Amino acid sequence: MVVRIRRYIVAGLLVWLPIGATILVFSLLLDLMDRLLLLIPPPYRPDALLGFRIPGLGVILALLVLIITGVLVANLLGRRLVHNYEKFLNRIPLVRSVYGAVKHFAEVVFSDSNASFKKVLLIEYPRAGLYSLCFQTSENPPEVRSRTGDTIVTVFLPTTPNPTSGFMLFVPAKDVIELDMSVEEGLKMIISLGLVVPQWHPVHPAHEVAASEASP
């Protein structure tokens, strides 16, 4: 009886815990964005003009700020202002380290260019016979390839469940195994400690491969 009750409690937690966590995170984000309205002079705030408070208006303000900022930095003058601003931040030791790390991480996550992860790979790490999930970041760095004499793949080996830290490794191309899963699926698998496993449908089923190998 006790075991059955405990099983029901765990089943209920599995339903309500993700829902509660999602509501909490979105509530915190909405509250944080609504605080942006405090930047507006009190007589011109929406609650003063309308006579009542509308939750979530900070999201609209945040979007407007992001769009205006994107338009400004897209031209020559805006890029110059950002460059001068970053030069100023780079002169402050602690701020320089934090700002540089956050900027590079944001470029990797949000960029659609070659700065983002390209493929999900498997490598034998930390020893032969044990495999780790990693992401390809670049291929054939000129100096590394010249000094090693091999075709090299640069990979990022993240830690779990926090994929923002990890190791950068130079691995010979012959020692990596390319996976079919997407980068998003790979990140979900790492964050979930391997509990969320993406579905895989092989292009050539095992029985077809066996039949082709058996045929002369």
Dump pLDDT digits (tens) for 132-167: 999 998 888 999 999 999 999 999 999 988 887 899
More confident residue, 201 or 142: 142
pLDDT reported for residue 61: 83
Helix (H) or strand (E) holding 23: helix 2-34
In terms of Cα–Cα distance, which of 151, 147, 154, 157 is closest to 125?
157
96, pLDDT greater than 50: yes
pLDDT reported for residue 211: 44
Q: Please give the Cα distance from 131 to 1 (Å, whole number).
A: 42
Tell me the two tokens of residue 162: 């926090």
80, pLDDT greater than 70: yes
pLDDT reported for residue 38: 82
Q: Please give the Cα distance from 100 to 106 (Å, whole number).
A: 10
pLDDT reported for residue 205: 52
Q: Please give the Cα distance from 129 to 45 (Å, whole number).
A: 62
Q: What is the dihedral of CA 87, 90, 95, 99, to 10 degrees?
A: 70
Distances, alpha carbon 191 to alpha carbons 46, 182, 196, in Å: 39, 14, 9
For residue 189, count other CB atoms closer than 10 A to its CB. Answer: 19
pLDDT reported for residue 121: 95
The mean pLDDT of the chain is 83
| pTM for the whole structure | 0.54
**207-216 pLDDT, tens digit each:** 444 444 444 4
**18-60 pLDDT, tens digit each:** 899 899 988 888 888 888 888 888 888 888 888 887 777 888 8
Beta strands in 28-118 (DSSP E): none
More confident residue, 192 or 116: 192
In terms of Cα–Cα distance, which of 187, 214, 185, 210 is closest to 198?
185
- Report the percent of the chain where pLDDT is more than 70: 89
106, pLDDT greater than 70: yes
204, pLDDT greater than 80: no
62, pLDDT greater than 90: no
pLDDT reported for residue 131: 96
